[in-house]
Amino acid sequence: MRYYLHYFTLFFLLSSPVCWAQENNTFQLLYFEPAEDWESEALPIGNAFIGSMFYGGIHQERIQFSEGTLWAGGPGSNENYQFGIRKGAWKHLSEVRRLIDEGKLNEAHQLAQKELTGVTNHDKDYLSGFGDYGAQQTMGELFITTKHSDKVEDYQRVLDIENAEGKITYKVGENTYQRTYFGHYPSKLMVYKFESKLPENYSIQLASPHIKVKETWKKNTYAFQGEVSDNKMQFETCLKFDTDGKISFDNGKVEITKATYFVIYHAASTEYLNDYPTYKGNDFIKENTKSLQWVKGKSCETIKEEHREDYKNLFDRVDFHLDDDKFVGMSTKQRLLQYSKGEKDLWLEQLYFQYSRYLMISGSRPGSMPLHLQGKWNDSTNPAWAADYHMNINQQMLYWPAEVTNLSECEEPLNDYIESLVEPGKKSAKEFFNTRGWTVSTMNNPFGFTSSGWGFPWGFFPAGGGWISQHLWEHYAFTKDKEYLKNQAYPIMKEAALFWVDYLTENENGYLVSYPSYSPEHGGISKGASMDHQIAWDLFSNCIAASEILNVDQDFRVELQQLKDKIAPPTIGSWGQLQEWMEDVDDPKSTHRHVSHLYALHPGSQITLNKTPQLAEAAKVSLNARGDNGTGWSLAWKINFWSRLKDGDRAYKLFQRLLYPVKFEGIKSKGGGTYANLFCAHPPFQLDGNMGAAAGIAEMLLQSHEGHIELLPALPSAWENGYMKGLKARGDVEIDIEWKKGELVKAVVKSSNDKEVRVMYAGKHQIVNLKGGEPLRMNFK
């Protein structure tokens, strides 16, 4: 719960009072036909634990669902599974380093692949679900069948993101039909309600790709207990029915007759427990029973009102307005097509931003697993990249918008997951690198797999732990929760820093370098990938600041400062670019999707236009060389880069490119873009592009990474008039901003505590004190 004790109002370039616009657009994804394709057309709902996708079929509805803890692989899949660790691999590091120093990079690659990853056939392991590594699993599908004899009219399929509800309506003859779907976070239930004006008959069946252990029918509740074949993970999914019709169960099917409504309350849980090293112990049957007891004595309407109150407490914190909806009644698919042809649609751009927040709330809440590559929505037992937690950009990008778009609670599952990686990450650090502290590489999973990953070199990324630790610091920076910093964030960050204290190696020029290293996912193994150095610099900086705030570890703080000053700095190369490696070997013709060496520009803050203008200019040179195409998440990262460089029009151009239609008939693919259901196309579907773009939009309008708050730092010229209410700045400050004709006219700043704040707009700044609720009028003319 948030209490705003003090606030003040800033008036910029303002001669008379300005009121917030009163327009209230309805943010909905709208379609006039059922979905046929899961990835590009089905629509997502979720309660953070379960992610469901509904198709809206007429004669047969199909609802696919996944529960975040259901995984193949890991302990139980193979008695030799060792959390990805090849014992004693660190003994070969010196040999790998020697080969690098002698310029024998191919030999270094081969040795590293053999001795550091323990994998010799990446393709085979990928096609079989990454072997013992496993993959996140779909749990099953519901099929709800009814028979319509007449023509269907007035069909609509809607995802209402203001209320987090899916809706389907249509008419057959004299009968009208309506369905309402939503996820209820407090109870961990999914709710599916079917209604008709006249009585109707239905048949409901659950299908699962996993082994059926047993099924039961008792008191209008169907329970399916199953297990994953390779690791024997147990799970249960339950369907509790409420109806005014007659209900029966026969041969695996629930039959409902003569009903004007029925409701399915859907629970799902597994035996997974994030408890290293066994990862078992959750009483999933008891958990489902508790969820279903929530509805006892309550109507579906009461449950829906609880859901709306819970959801809107988060969603309504931010209000983004650019323009009225001039395409009222047009389907979302048609809007994307129009947009790709150059038709201006500011409403669609607002929708995309708020849709990303909807997906965050629906997929990540306290107590749940964090978002994976597909959020909580996965229809496969062998999904692309295992639908896992990729920590060389993807996992980080998934959570970039959490703090700035006022969803700090949604960050908590990630922070808790990071904490769970420390103990297995210490084993990886010891066995692979002979260091203290903890590390995690590109791929990791909920079974403590923290090694260098499957395949080399792309899976090798010792900087993953350092990078993901930035989120721990950012959560503190935005919330100023000192107890959290003391009890969770700083201990984890300190252990991550210890890895780099031991791993960084002094080179012939006296700089500390990462060795061996790999710049994701570009080039090969090297001595001194720039991204590693930037991450270590950032981690040391955050640890130093945290130890000062907590007044602990003074000697360690001094050591980190000394080491930080010796880390190889960002370097400008021969054609004016920011170098990706210690060697000046960047190819100006490369358009690779990864721009890893720009970490210091975003999400880091080592490079800024104000403090390091020459390095910022070099970053521009690198970005221009890489171009404005790429996969979905790559386009999203570039939006953030150009926002930090305060080029709003360039950032906006990339946002427009991200909205290019993918999997549309007659539309030639350009790679990354957006599906008809607004999922980001990597391709295939990955949620990171949605989240990265939302963060980039926030960066256009508000920045606070340099120690002050800057308003409208990269406002695109296309967004001439608008407002954004409820964004967060570092320092536990909430901002409302309004602009007209491209200039700031109003800002409201709120905080839960008295504090001094430096606010900047158009190159000018003011120092203001937040206290007592007294409005402060400021003029930056």
> What local confidence, expressed as pLDDT, does residue 456 receive?
52
- Name the pLDDT band for 405 (thresholds 50, 70, 90): very high
> What local confidence, expressed as pLDDT, does residue 649 receive?
98
Q: Give the CA-trace dihedral at 315, 319, 322, 327, to 10 degrees.
A: 40
The residue-averaged pLDDT of 333-338 equals 96
Residue 454 structure tokens: 């499957």
Residue 158 or residue 24, greater confidence: 158
> What local confidence, expressed as pLDDT, does residue 739 receive?
95
- Name the pLDDT band for 120 (thresholds 50, 70, 90): very low
DSSP type of residue 19 = P
- Name the pLDDT band for 559 (thresholds 50, 70, 90): very high
Rg (C-alpha) for the chain, rounded Å, is 26
> What local confidence, expressed as pLDDT, does residue 112 receive?
66
**Does 774 have pLDDT greater than 50?**
no
Give the bridge partners for 722, in sequence order.
739
Residue 325 or residue 115, greater confidence: 325
| Cα 249 from chain centre | 40
Cα–Cα distance between 29 and 159 in angstroms, integer? 5
**Region of poorest pLDDT, from 110-124, 200-214, 365-379:** 110-124
Cα–Cα distance between 435 and 554 in angstroms, integer? 22
| Cα 123 from chain centre | 27
Question: Which of 636, 720, 620 has its CA nearest to residue 679?
Answer: 636
> What local confidence, expressed as pLDDT, does residue 119 receive?
34
pLDDT more than 90, % of the chain: 76
- Angle of helix 105-112 relative to helix 93-101, nearest 10 degrees, comes to 170
**Does 771 have pLDDT greater than 90?**
no
**Does 105 have pLDDT greater than 80?**
no
> What local confidence, expressed as pLDDT, does residue 772 receive?
47
Q: List pLDDT tens digits, range 441-488.
A: 888 899 988 876 444 556 778 899 999 999 999 999 999 999 999 999
**Does 118 have pLDDT greater than 80?**
no
**Does 20 have pLDDT greater than 50?**
no
> What local confidence, expressed as pLDDT, does residue 574 receive?
98
- Name the pLDDT band for 29 (thresholds 50, 70, 90): very high
Mean of all residue pLDDT scores within the chain: 90
Q: List pLDDT tens digits, range 37-92.
A: 999 999 999 999 999 999 999 999 999 999 999 999 987 766 555 444 455 555 66
- Name the pLDDT band for 258 (thresholds 50, 70, 90): very high
**Does 421 have pLDDT greater than 90?**
yes
The residue-averaged pLDDT of 506-518 equals 93
Place of tokens 């900086």: 541
Contact present, 725 and 23 (Cβ < 8 Å): no
Contact present, 387 and 139 (Cβ < 8 Å): no
Residue 686 structure tokens: 């990955």
**Region of poorest pLDDT, from 111-120, 586-595, 636-645:** 111-120
**Does 426 have pLDDT greater than 80?**
yes
Question: Which of 243, 301, 235, 293 has its CA nearest to residue 269?
Answer: 235
Residue 284 or residue 116, greater confidence: 284
**Does 19 have pLDDT greater than 60?**
no
Question: Which of 211, 275, 222 has its CA nearest to residue 247?
Answer: 222
> What local confidence, expressed as pLDDT, does residue 9 receive?
44
Half-sphere exposure of 126 (CA within 13 A, CB side): 12
Contact present, 333 and 678 (Cβ < 8 Å): no
Residue 680 or residue 517, greater confidence: 680
> What local confidence, expressed as pLDDT, does residue 168 receive?
98
| Backbone φ/ψ region at 118: left (φ over 0), alpha (ψ -120 to 50), beta | left
Cα–Cα distance between 396 and 292 in angstroms, integer? 34
- Name the pLDDT band for 121 (thresholds 50, 70, 90): very low
Cα–Cα distance between 692 and 595 in angstroms, integer? 14
> How many CB atoms are closer than 10 A to CB 630?
25
Q: List pLDDT tens digits, range 129-145.
A: 345 789 999 999 999 99
The residue-averaged pLDDT of 253-257 equals 97
Q: List pLDDT tens digits, range 307-318.
A: 999 999 999 999
Q: How far is CA 669 from CA 24, 40, 42, in A?
A: 35, 14, 20
* End-to-end Cα separation, the chain, in angstroms: 38
Question: Which of 606, 638, 635, 633 has its CA nearest to residue 622?
Answer: 638
What is the helix, strand, coil percentage profile of the chain, to 5?
A: 30, 25, 40
